[in-house]
Amino acid sequence: MSEIVIRVEHLSKRFRIGLKAPHHRLSEAITDLGRACANLPGRIFGRRVLSPDESNGAEAGEFWALKDISFEVQRGDVVGIIGRNGAGKSTLLKILARITEPTSGRFGLQGRVGSLLEIGTGFHPELTGRENIFLSGTILGMMRREVVRHFDEIVAFAEIDEFLDTPVKRYSSGMRVRLGFAVAAYLNPEILIVDEVLAVGDAAFQKKCLGKMGTFAESGRTVLFVSHDVNAIQSLCTSAILLDHGRIAGNGPTMDVVAQYRDAIESFQQVPLQSRTDRSGSGRLRFVSLDIVGPSKADPSIRTGRPCSFVLNFELSDNEPAEDVHFAVTIADARGYPLITCASFHKGADFPPFQKSGQVCCLIPTLPLAPGRYSVHLAATMRRQRADLVENVAGFTVHEEDFYGTGRLPKPEKRGGAMVVDHSWVSKTGGG
Amino acid sequence: MGSSSGDQQIDLSAGTFATAPEDGLIYYEARGGLGFADFRELWAYRDLFFSLALRDLQVQYRQTFIGVAWAVIRPLTLMIVFTALFRMLGRIPASNEQTYAVTLYAVLLPWQLFATTLTKSTSSLVANEAILTKVYFPRLILPLVPIAVGLVDFAIAFVVLLGLMFWYGVMPTVTILLVPFFVALAVLVSFAFGTWLSAANALYRDIQHAVPFVVQVGMFVSPVIYEMAEVPEKWRTLYSLNPMVGVLEGFRWSLLGQQEPPLTAIALSIMISAVVLAGGLVYFRRIERFVADRV
């Protein structure tokens, strides 16, 4: 018998842009001081005060992260939530987990809700593994006696028994992830809300976690699961919801929604970069175009093992010279899984200050990609703060080139790896 | 608490799909208007309170050499400095020096309980941003946690106080039984302001810079290093509007039992902190709704 355990009705959430920032920069604070003083009583009391530039148009200072979302989930369903960056996935989870309130609409939940928006929520680095199990467990919603009851299982699942009394700051990142997930695995809520947390940890542990979530659903519990990993969604979820610009663009069996999402990714890349709105960051710098070019003008095709350049054009939102700017180009495979990140910060590149606009080029002398289809994400930071981030900016095809001098290459579509590297083979058996 | 169980607040005509009242779901929506604290929910989260208090206690003295002795060193140092200073200025007769020192140490304890609790409560929402934005719990727990930590420090320093009193032959009277009442009043005052300041600090970090400074100044407009009797008579009522006056004078009286109990100051302290707390809970409730987006 089907029974509804989550019912979402006309849920909307509005954010006001710029309200998150006022306390970060002293110089800005001083400029705004006069205005701030006038508005102070209203601000302190959380009332809406329109600043002059906001009041020009109601939409200037706000945007709808979610707009009129309605859906139902039945007991035992595992629902995947997919969508681009900024589509509203995390906002939806945060509302359902009651971390933040909707602006309008409402939602109904049945039973205890556990939210897992981060691995190792509440861990304190100075405390030992044992102390952190209790701390994180109670933060996630367990009573201390429940933690006591599951303590041995948690330790076994995390495989950390020798380090139980070692401060977590001395743990490897893998151990920390295992411990974090192990605590969450024994939460035992009727509804589990999970955000993109399986992206961390090694493959074997990820598999263990997915297995745990699978058995969790089989025992009649309900899971809401956000992930960029379409494969994880496909293998785990019975149905999926596709969000786009805060609205539901698709809702139904996983296969159909995932297919719709893949088509949508292709179509994002048709939209010119300049008019893309699904970006995040402060916006002080905006990418306007990207050119992907091969070895030379005469030889423009992109081929395995040959030089390849990414030419990034960008604009600045104000007339201040932009200093301490860094860029990153991430190349992802056809499924959206990141393969290579070339970051100017990692390379220690030092750019002169930019005025109004600029162009930078990232050159990869030997492109280590097997023939196939890839896509590019771009990111920029200013003074270590994210200025712009756009996913799936463009798709490109890597063509065959005789990289190994044998005319042979791995075939990603036949389970071959997507990357090629120079290497050698020798026999270590017998002979001498 | 803004959530309404299925059978209470459902308007059947409003939704496109009518919700059966017996659908067994608990509904949540934007909470408007004024609300108060939900103490039943707070109680349900008592284990979280305990865990966070334990965390702060453990972290406070981990990797320190003398550990909990820090709870005693601060009031003890202040006692020595002020006693030496006042003696130099000729404000205390040498014969009375020991009583003055012990009394000063005693009054420093509720003052420090108030000062550290208020300072930590103020920054509590910001300091716990990492969990605030990842999981739901009644946010009021956060400004409450520093009280538990402050009380543990207080208890340690109080044991030393009893030792000092015994050593210097300063004998308490039966009114010492009222000490817990004044400790509770110190906590009430600090929590009353803590609700306001922690919520406001989530929006404007200026608060957490201002509070330690204001508290430092506050020590001199409260009867810590002097007694209310030294304040000119005509100013005393105005002076007692500082809710810590009642706490400190009351604490001194209950411990040493001289003179008359400062009833006016105590009554004012209770009333003022009750009013501030009531307003603070409403304000906190209001900010709590969107604190995860703004902190």
Query: Where is pLDDT greater, at A87 or A152?
Result: A152
Instruction: Read off the pLDDT of each residue in A331-340 and give the average, rounded to a whole number.
Output: 83
Q: Which of B17, B47, B203 sits opposite A43 (nearest CB)?
A: B203
Contact A138 B50 (CB under 8 A): yes
| pLDDT of A127 | 94
The answer to whether the CB of B243 falls within 8 A of the CB of B158 is no
Q: A48 or A322, which is more confident?
A: A322
Across A204-208, A295-299, A390-394, least confident range: A204-208
Q: Please answer yes or no on whether B136 and A4 come within 8 Å at the CB atom.
A: no
Instruction: Read off the pLDDT of residues A265-290 as tens digits, 9 standing for 90 and up.
Output: 766 666 788 888 888 888 899 999 99
Low-confidence winner among A340-344, B90-94, B180-184 (lowest mean pLDDT): B90-94
Give the range among A61-65, A159-163, B89-93, B175-179 with minimum mean pLDDT: B89-93
**Token code pair at residue B84:** 């030496």
Lowest mean pLDDT among A27-31, A287-291, A310-314, A385-389: A27-31
Q: Does A43 touch chain B (CB under 8 A)?
A: yes
Q: What percent of chain A is modeled with pLDDT above 70?
A: 85
Q: Rounded to whole angstroms, what are the CA distances from B213 to A125, A289, B209?
A: 30, 51, 7
CA distance B73 to B84: 16
Give the amino acid at A274: Q
Please indicate whether, in this complex, the C-beta atoms of B63 and A115 are within 8 angstroms of each other.
Answer: no
Share of chain A above pLDDT 90, in %: 39
How far is A398 from A386, CA to CA, in rounded Å? 29
pLDDT at A67: 92
From CA A359, how far away is CA A361, in angstroms rounded? 7
The pLDDT value recorded for residue A56 is: 39
**Neighboring chain A residues of B52 at a CB cutoff of 8 Å:** 135, 139
Measured from the Cβ of residue B178, the count of other Cβ atoms closer than 10 Å reads 16
The stretch A356-366 carries a mean pLDDT of: 92
E strand or H helix at A358, and its extent?
Answer: strand A357-364
DSSP code of B18?
A: P
Q: Which residues of A touch B210 (CB under 8 A)?
A: none
Residue A45 has a pLDDT of 61
On whether the CB atoms of residues A92 and A69 are closer than 8 A, the answer is yes
The structure's pTM equals: 0.74
- What is the residue-wise DSSP string for A122-186? T--TTSBHHHHHHHHHHHTT--HHHHHHHHHHHHHHHT-GGGTTSBGGGS-HHHHHHHHHHHHHT
B159 pLDDT above the threshold of 50:
yes
> Residue type for B164, please?
L
Contact A281, A256 (CB under 8 A): no
CB within 8 Å of chain B, chain A residues 97-116: 97-110, 115
Q: Where is mean pLDDT largest: A152-166, A218-232, A317-331, B108-122?
A: B108-122
CB B233 within 8 A of CB B243: no
Position A410 scores a pLDDT of 84
User: Higher model confidence: residue A8 or residue A43?
Assistant: A8
Predicted confidence at residue A201, as pLDDT, reads 59
Q: Is the pLDDT of residue B219 over 80?
A: yes
Task: Report the share of chain B in percent with pLDDT over 70.
Answer: 90
Six-digit token pair at B47? 């284990």
Question: What is the Cα–Cα distance from B196 to B199, expressed in whole angstroms?
Answer: 6
Contact by Cβ (8 Å): B72, B153: no
- Tens-place pLDDT, residues B234-280: 998 899 999 999 999 999 999 887 778 889 999 999 999 999 999 99
Burial class (CB in 10 A: 0-12, 13-18, 19+), B216: exposed
CA atoms within 13 A on the CB side of B61: 13
Best residue in A99, A136, A192, A222 to probe B by mutation, most B CBs within 10 Å?
A99
Q: For residue A32, what pLDDT is reported?
A: 55
**Residues B130-144: what's their mean pLDDT?**
94
